[in-house]
Amino acid sequence: MKKLLVILLIISLKTFGQAIEHFEPASWWIGMKNPKLQVLIHGKDISTFSLNVNYPGVKLVKINKTENPNYLFADLLISGNAKAGKVPFNFSKGKIKTEYFLDLKNRKPNSAQREGYSQKDVIYLLTPDRFANGDTKNDNISGYPDALNRAKDYGRHGGDIAGIRKNLDYISEMGFTTIWPMPLEENKMNEASYHGYAITDFYKIDPRYGSNDDYQNMVKESKQKGLKFIRDVVLNHCGLNHWWMTDLPSKDWINNEGKFAPTNHQREVVHDPYAAKTDMDKMTQGWFVTAMPDMNQRNSFMANYLIQNTLWWIEYADLDGLRIDTYPYSDKNFLSVWSKAVMDEYPKLNMVGEEWSTRQAVTAYWQKGQMNRDGYHSYLPSMMDFPLNNSLIEGLKENDKDWGKGMLKLYQCLSDDYLYANPNNLVTFFDNHDMNRIYTQLDEDKELLKMGLAVIFTTRGIPQFFYGTELAMTSPKERNDGLIRADLPGGWEGDKVDVFQNKNLSPLQSEMREFVKKLLNWRKTATAIHNGKLIHFAPEDGIYSYFRFNEKEKYFIVLNKNDKETSLNLERYKGMIPNKPSFEDVLDGDQFQNEVRIPAKGFRILKVK
């Protein structure tokens, strides 16, 4: 009897069922500012079926077909009066019928008014696969070819969401206030999938990290510990093994009709008044590498897909902000529409774009509020401050006695802040996941490392910190991303050195860990650093100095690159300090009045009393 029932069930599925392979997004929310939703539906010959949606407050406006009969794009209008529930999508063709559901949800209270990260925050950037392995059961997953192999620089090492959740207290206690993990979405690639930027399913967390629910709970637990959460967004490309690459909706879904053609990386062409169109097209339509097909955002269905995916993750996971990978490589008109769509829904959210240029004019072009001569409007609030990163590193390493070198470069970089619409909202950093470890760049000079961190944590902008720098981690001189993103000691069972438990650290590691912790926990309370003005003084005799101040407090930051202790001439700072000044070093408590001494190759952060 049971066998007969199974046979009848199989017959009924073949007769009355139609396989829906992909239905994206599978859920949405009532009360979004934009009431429109476009659902991607993928299944064998699905465009030959009739579609009916009958649900109070939800209207099927249009059914869009492409050249591929396996796709439909259903345009919906969702009323603010709709009720949460399962919205049925009924497909039929003759006797063949099937039903699929869109999960319609209520938004969380004040979801649209969520506050993004700001100058009050310090962002902790981590590589999830290399941070901590909290669940060894997901190290290898059937069907995912890139298996665990900690011996390979570019292999998967087993870090996961469970490892991050397990160590949220560490991140918070160190003084960080915001977490930015590299992408956690599915990367079902054959090799080097650990970095996360070759996404093969934009709506699914890679199971080797955990599940969508795990991600959602990680963000929730972070907020409970006072930590904000940033999603790393990839708009420019997908992974070669993305599910749609074997069945594209249209020939123009991927740039160059799905065939590899490299980008020229000439990002200046985006705003170059003399740029040739062929150069512009090659820049934005060329692929990064063969494993990352370049998505065509000029295709309206692709554009809608990417916009909705961004909104979906913000709403689903209750995110506080975004970081956008390879920002200028996408179509710039799409980026304007995308950034406006996100900010319209979440006007207080913060988003930062990656434009790896050391020229302020190039970076400034993309920031919200910039008055570009070509009339281009961007709605992106923040950019990664690569110009400051470059000038700070060169300024620390170079000899200040050489003409035009040393800390003068940092001074000059900041003096060009007039080029930005909002320099205070730029994200500053000393190193990141795409460049050699900063301790290596500084030739393993501990004092320069501390000095640079002092600048990053006290100058204008929002500091970003790369995991492992609290231990002065190193990397080879020749760039190797797999080793730059090395395993954090203590994240794996059997690790003798444990940064989380503060066990068996070397003297250097202990010193740097405590230095970062003390400096960042002071910064949490320093309102002048969060919202104060900045006045700096041109470098003289190896000394660079500046003030951060608001109506409540004032800090005097002094960097000394000389090989001997230096006493400051306070006459230079008249107007910024009282006639009878008193200072206290916020880190070691030293007190100064008429004479301020700055240690050799050192710095002081002084509270002005």
Give percent above pLDDT 70 in the chain: 97
C-beta of residue 557 within 8 angstroms of C-beta of residue 582: no
| Separation between Cα atoms, residue 457 and residue 462, nearest integer Å | 8
Residue 5 has pLDDT above 50, yes or no: no
Confidence of residue 1 (pLDDT cuts 50, 70, 90): very low
Over residues 9-34, the mean pLDDT reads 76
Q: List for the chain the helix, strand, coil content (%; round to 5).
A: 30, 25, 45
What pLDDT digit, counting tens, does each position of 154-179 carry?
Answer: 999 999 999 999 999 999 999 999 99
What pLDDT digit, counting tens, does each position of 286-344 carry?
Answer: 999 999 999 999 999 999 999 999 999 999 999 999 999 999 999 999 999 999 999 99
Residue 207 has pLDDT above 60, yes or no: yes
Tell me the DSSP string of 244-276.
Answer: GGGS-SSTTSBGGGG---B----GGGGT-TT--
Over residues 384-412, the mean pLDDT reads 97
- Quickly count: other Cβ atoms within 10 Å of residue 26's Cβ: 13
Q: List residues with catalytic annotation.
A: 325, 354
Confidence of residue 6 (pLDDT cuts 50, 70, 90): very low
Q: Are strands 58-65 and 27-30 parallel, antiparallel or unpaired?
A: unpaired
Residue 166 pLDDT: 98
Residue 132 pLDDT: 98
Confidence of residue 11 (pLDDT cuts 50, 70, 90): very low
C-beta of residue 18 within 8 angstroms of C-beta of residue 46: yes
| Separation between Cα atoms, residue 553 and residue 458, nearest integer Å | 14
Residue 15 pLDDT: 38
Asked whether the whole model's pTM tops 0.75, one would answer: yes
| Separation between Cα atoms, residue 27 and residue 87, nearest integer Å | 10
Q: How distant, in Å, are the alpha carbons of 23, 41, 232 from that of 70? A: 12, 8, 30
What pLDDT digit, counting tens, does each position of 357-384 carry?
Answer: 999 999 999 999 999 999 999 999 999 9
Q: Which domains does the chain have, with CATH numbers?
A: 2-106 (2.60.40.10), 117-147+157-476+502-524 (3.20.20.80), 532-608 (2.60.40.1180)
Over residues 23-44, the mean pLDDT reads 98
Q: What is the DSSP letter of 105?
A: E
Residue 226 pLDDT: 98
| Separation between Cα atoms, residue 555 and residue 295, nearest integer Å | 47
Confidence of residue 594 (pLDDT cuts 50, 70, 90): confident
Give percent above pLDDT 90 in the chain: 96
Q: Where are the beta strands (DSSP E) in 213-363?
A: 228-233, 321-324, 350-353
Tokens standing for 504?
């068996």
Over residues 430-452, the mean pLDDT reads 98
Confidence of residue 8 (pLDDT cuts 50, 70, 90): very low
Residue 443 has pLDDT above 70, yes or no: yes
Q: Over the chain, what is the mean pLDDT?
A: 96
Confidence of residue 64 (pLDDT cuts 50, 70, 90): very high
Over residues 567-593, the mean pLDDT reads 95
What pLDDT digit, counting tens, does each position of 533-579 carry?
Answer: 999 999 999 999 999 999 999 999 999 999 999 999 999 999 999 99
Residue 143 has pLDDT above 90, yes or no: yes
Confidence of residue 17 (pLDDT cuts 50, 70, 90): low
